[in-house]
Amino acid sequence: MPIPLPEISAIVEELLAGEGAELVELTAGGSQRTPLLRVYVDRPGGTSADFCAAVSRGLEARLDRSGLLGERYTLEVSSPGLHRPLRTRRDFERLVGHEVEVRHQARPAASLDVIGVLEEVVRSDADQASCADPGGYEVVIRPRDGQPVRIASREIERARPHLAVVARPRIRNARSER
C-alpha cells in the first residue's frame, strides 16, 4: 500500500500550526510491511528534542486514528538541522543578509554553485507560470569575489544556509617539541 503523503502532510501541518511550527520535509520509506515516515519540523527559535518528542506523540495519535498507515509503522520526527534545505520563498526571505549555497541549472558562462550573501528575494513576473511557488521569485546573491548573481526560483536545484568551517589553530605541546 503506497503511503498517502498529501493526506499525511495535511495532518502534520494542522498539528504544527497549533504549535507555531512548520513542516520542512516529509519523506516515506521503509518496507510495505513496516512503512517509515520521516517528518522534519522547525519553528522560530529552533527545535528541541522535547518539542520533537511532543510532536511525535501528537502525530502518532492522529495517524493511528486516521488509519492511513495501518497498525505497523515507524515514525521519526526531527529538526532539519543546520543544513536545512531552502525550498520556499519564505525560507529564502528568512535568510536575507546571511550566506547561502545555491546549486542552479547552468547558464552559459555561469557556475553551477553560488556561495554568497543573500541580498534580496524579489518577485519575478516572468517566472509566474513556470515556478512551483506561486508568483515566482528570484534570489540575488553576492559572492565574496564578484558581482551579484540573480537566480530564478525555477532554476534552483538545491539551496541551503552556508556554514563556514573554521580551522582551529594547532596548539603545540611543550613536551612534544623536545
Q: Where are the beta strands (DSSP E) in the chain?
A: 22-30, 35-42, 74-78, 99-104, 113-123, 137-143, 149-152, 156-161
Domain with CATH 3.30.300.70 in the chain: 5-78
- The neighbour count for residue 154, using CB atoms within 10 Å, is 19
Tell me, which fold does domain 89-161 have in CATH?
SH3 type barrels. (2.30.30)
Domain with CATH 2.30.30 in the chain: 89-161
| Predicted confidence pLDDT, tens digits, the chain (178 residues) | 678 899 999 999 999 999 999 998 999 999 988 999 999 999 888 889 999 999 999 999 999 999 999 889 999 999 988 778 898 898 899 889 999 999 998 665 566 889 999 999 998 765 444 444 456 899 999 998 889 999 999 999 999 999 876 666 676 665 655 5
CATH number of the 5-78 domain: 3.30.300.70
